[in-house]
Amino acid sequence: MRQSLLAVAAIMAGLISANAATDPLAEGAKSYQRADYKGALAQWQPLAVQGNPVAQNNLGVMYLDGKGVAQNMSEAVRYLSLAAASGSSLGQNNLGGLYREGKGVPRDYVLAARWFTAAAGQGNAAAMYNLGLMYELGQGMKAEPFHAYMWYALAAETNTVPNAAAHREALWGRMTAAAQKQARDLTAACKGKAYKGCV
């Protein structure tokens, strides 16, 4: 997934709470939205050091993009790895993106797919879309249109990932009627399993 979309998804997803005045995550998100990156850093850095996976993800994105800090790929990888290892679907998706693109780490499609799968299993729509791309292009796995369609369809259902519906429809148009049924059945089965074990 494109890094700019990752950054927006990472910052916006679930960060603003009802009690923003006392929530440093939400305060940091407000600062980030105002392009007050130093303010966001001041809120998130202490939390990241204490092990908060959302703050770790956010710092990783800031280091990746050079916002509020000097761009530093090793720090981006470090913080995103901490977030991913702690189970953050945002961190897992973003770390998967680094491995797929070979940014700050050697390109490794297998590791990228592993992190995207972990995030998709938690319902992360961006990771679902990323898996769809990997299955469609055969990155780290055999090109497989049924799974590509499934992940695009699941991502498209959230209405949060640009292009997911367009990719789903383009793939659908290239399938036979029998293949369409198989893809639709696979999608329903994955949804029924709450996105776990769908590879």
pLDDT at residue 152 above 70? yes
pLDDT digits (tens, 9 = 90+) for 33-62: 999 999 999 999 999 999 999 999 999 999
Q: Which pair of structure tokens corresponds to residue 32?
A: 């980030």
pLDDT digits (tens, 9 = 90+) for 79-126: 999 999 999 999 999 999 999 999 999 999 999 999 999 999 999 999
92 and 70 in contact (C-beta within 8 Å)?
Answer: no
109 and 140 in contact (C-beta within 8 Å)?
Answer: yes
The residue type of 186 is: L
Q: Residue 22 burial (CB < 10 Å; 0-12/13-18/19+)?
A: exposed
Write down the pTM of the prediction.
Answer: 0.87
pLDDT at residue 1 above 90? no
Q: Which of 128, 142, 107 is nearest to 9 (CA)?
A: 128
Q: Which pair of structure tokens corresponds to residue 170?
A: 């383009």
98 and 61 in contact (C-beta within 8 Å)?
Answer: no
pLDDT digits (tens, 9 = 90+) for 120-138: 999 999 999 999 999 999 9
Q: Which pair of structure tokens corresponds to residue 185?
A: 């059945």
Q: What is the pLDDT of residue 22?
A: 79
45 and 55 in contact (C-beta within 8 Å)?
Answer: yes
Query: How sure is the predictor about 199, in pLDDT bands with cuts at 50, 70 and 90?
Result: confident
Q: What is the pLDDT of residue 16?
A: 42
Q: What is the pLDDT of residue 14?
A: 44
